[in-house]
Amino acid sequence: MDRARLHALLARESAEAERRNPRSRAAYARADHLFGRVPMTWMNKTAGGFPRYLAEARGARVTDVDGHTYVDFCLGDTGAMAGHSPAPVAEAVHRRYAELGGATAMLPTEDAEWVGAELTRRFGLARWSFSLTATDANRWAIRLARAVTGRPKILVNSYCYHGSVDESLIVTTPDGPGAPRPGNVGAPCDVTLTSRVAEFNDLAGLERELAHGDVAAVLMEPALTNIGIVLPEPGYLTGVRELTRQYGTLLVNDETHTFSAGPGGCTGAWDLAPDLLTIGKAIGGGIPAGAYGLSAELAERLLARGDLDLVDMGGVGGTLAGNALSVAATRATLEHVLTGEAFARMGTLAERFETGVRDGLAAHGLPWSVSRLGARTEYRFTSPAPRTGTESAAASDPELEDFLHLYLANRGILLTPFHNMALMCPDTTEQDVDTHTEVFAAALAELAG
Ligand SMILES: Cc1ncc(COP(=O)(O)O)c(C=O)c1O
């Protein structure tokens, strides 16, 4: 990579973004009352120095306040995997909120049992409870795992992401118990007191940590998706299940992103058998919703424990969790939008996307890799594809990423601002994918000079 050339290209694309987006730039400059000028600090993770402001979004399209329409492969970093405002969800939300009324009334609705049964059909876990975010689903799963095992620690994979969960902010160190993930904000205590860490795809490392006998649960994505996509090697997930059983540790699959693998995520697609499963983002069709599932046996053990306050202030509840609006949106999303047929189409499109990227890389002889997990595709600046989170983290190149994101955005294509992830939704078309293939190839040609 000619760094001077990359630097010049990034400067050119930044200038172009400023020229194209005067209203977004002005709105950002005016946002004096927001912490970091944005509604949420991560919205500053954007190439070009300011975020594009949203005007409208439908299906696989987003339009910004400057009047540019984009093919959206970011899809709210999975929150909009059902497409933006799909009609069945819009109708269900309107009916619940405007016609029937009662978004949140501290009373259950019958939709919840429908959703629970559907989640059981897809993921296999027998009992379900709701949250508003995947972060909370993970937090509550962790609390339950600690309660039922009486063990203090949670094991995660290095460079995982499970939301703002304190226990997950740990990375491996060459020799030793791991260290706080760089940048961890406001850690309550030394993370090695609450957590253990192993590399993804490393069963020996996992066993070494589990052998201490103090791990309540392994919390993991069946494939890492937040440090690029890191796929499991043959036998790895079977080994994780065997080791967790052997050492009396519960297994929690976080399917928030790996849901892209199919209607039942990786758990359904690969016939996995976790004790708990967490999910959020896409299941509400863009309306905040999350859920965690438990095996029947685990649910019974927990409910039999009279000492645990599962009803009042014991730490596994949110007032708005399971509200009628979120549950109605989740039912509509699962019943009508993110169906088996939709996943089949989305997977085929992601394969086409992957082929387009591969062809572009081959044409320019670039030593990058591309990985796919159902409807989700991602390229990394290294080949072969990384085996662990640490290897994948080492391959990141923020300047190159910024250039690609800006080059694509200036030509009407959005990727997730975090790494190079592209996701398909039921409204994505072959033409959308081919547009990316063309623009991506043009970006590579510019880099080659
Ligand atoms: C695997 C995984 N789990 C949990 C979360 C947290 O989701 P939320 O921010 O909606 O709570 C994320 C967010 O990216 C995620 O990727």
Q: What angle do CA 263, 83, 227 make, to 5 degrees?
A: 70
Q: Up-side HSE of residue 74: CA atoms within 13 Å toward CB?
A: 17
Please state the atom number of ligand 1 nearest to the C-alpha of residue 138.
4
- 311 shares its domain with 388: no
Model pLDDT for residues 126-147, shown as the tens digit of each residue: 999 999 999 999 999 999 999 9
Calculate how far, in angstroms, residue 100's C-alpha sits from the geometric centre of ligand 1. Answer: 31
- 155 shares its domain with 282: yes
Calculate how far, in angstroms, residue 333's C-alpha sits from the geometric centre of ligand 1. Answer: 18
Q: CATH number of the domain at 26, please.
A: 3.90.1150.10
Contacts of 318 (CB under 8 A, 6+ apart): 131, 132, 136
- 270 shares its domain with 207: yes
- 19 shares its domain with 34: yes
Q: To test the ligand 1 pocket, which listed residue (41, 74, 77, 135) has its Cβ within 8 A of the most ligand atoms?
A: 135
Model pLDDT for residues 235-283, shown as the tens digit of each residue: 999 999 999 999 999 999 999 999 999 999 999 999 999 999 999 999 9
| Chosen domain end from 278, 313, 337 | 337
In this structure, is the dihedral angle defined by the CA atoms of residues 69, 11, 376 and 168, taken in order, positive or negative?
A: negative
Please state the atom number of ligand 1 nearest to the C-alpha of residue 79.
10
416 lines ligand 1 (CB under 6 A): no
| Chosen domain end from 337, 360, 378 | 337
pLDDT for position 142: 98
DSSP for 20-35, written as a single string? H-HHHHHHHHH-TTSG
Calculate how far, in angstroms, residue 417's C-alpha sits from the geometric centre of ligand 1. Answer: 15
Calculate how far, in angstroms, residue 280's C-alpha sits from the geometric centre of ligand 1. Answer: 7
- 167 shares its domain with 274: yes
pLDDT for position 61: 98
133 lines ligand 1 (CB under 6 A): yes
- 274 shares its domain with 367: no
Q: Whose CA is nearest to atom 14 of ligand 1?
A: 163
pLDDT for position 55: 98
- 191 shares its domain with 142: yes
256 lines ligand 1 (CB under 6 A): yes
Q: Whose CA is nearest to atom 3 of ligand 1?
A: 162
Contacts of 90 (CB under 8 A, 6+ apart): none
163 lines ligand 1 (CB under 6 A): yes
202 lines ligand 1 (CB under 6 A): no
């970011």: which residue's tokens?
74
| Chosen domain end from 320, 337, 354 | 337
Calculate how far, in angstroms, residue 163's C-alpha sits from the geometric centre of ligand 1. Answer: 4
78 vs 289: CA distance, rounded Å: 13
Q: CATH number of the domain at 202, please.
A: 3.40.640.10
Task: Tally the domains of the chain.
Answer: 2
Q: Whose CA is nearest to atom 9 of ligand 1?
A: 163
Residues in the chain with pLDDT values less than 50: none
122 lines ligand 1 (CB under 6 A): no
- 268 shares its domain with 329: yes
Please state the atom number of ligand 1 nearest to the C-alpha of residue 255.
1
pLDDT for position 371: 97
Contacts of 271 (CB under 8 A, 6+ apart): none
Please state the atom number of ligand 1 nearest to the C-alpha of residue 133.
11
Please indicate, yes or no, whether the overall pTM of this predicted structure exceeds 0.95.
yes
Q: Whose CA is nearest to atom 5 of ligand 1?
A: 163
134 lines ligand 1 (CB under 6 A): yes
pLDDT for position 449: 87
Calculate how far, in angstroms, residue 225's C-alpha sits from the geometric centre of ligand 1. Answer: 10
Please state the atom number of ligand 1 nearest to the C-alpha of residue 163.
6
- 414 shares its domain with 295: no
pLDDT for position 138: 98
Q: To test the ligand 1 pocket, which listed residue (136, 157, 161, 253) has its Cβ within 8 A of the most ligand atoms?
A: 161
| H/E stretch holding 250 | strand 250-254
402 lines ligand 1 (CB under 6 A): no
pLDDT for position 82: 98
- 77 shares its domain with 120: no
Model pLDDT for residues 291-314, shown as the tens digit of each residue: 999 999 999 999 999 999 999 999
**Enclosing domain of residue 434:** 3-81+340-448
- 76 shares its domain with 97: no
> Which tokens in the block code for residue 287?
């309306």
- 208 shares its domain with 297: yes
Pick the closest to residue 410 from 439, 377, 430 (CA basis).
Answer: 439
pLDDT for position 260: 98
DSSP state of 191: G
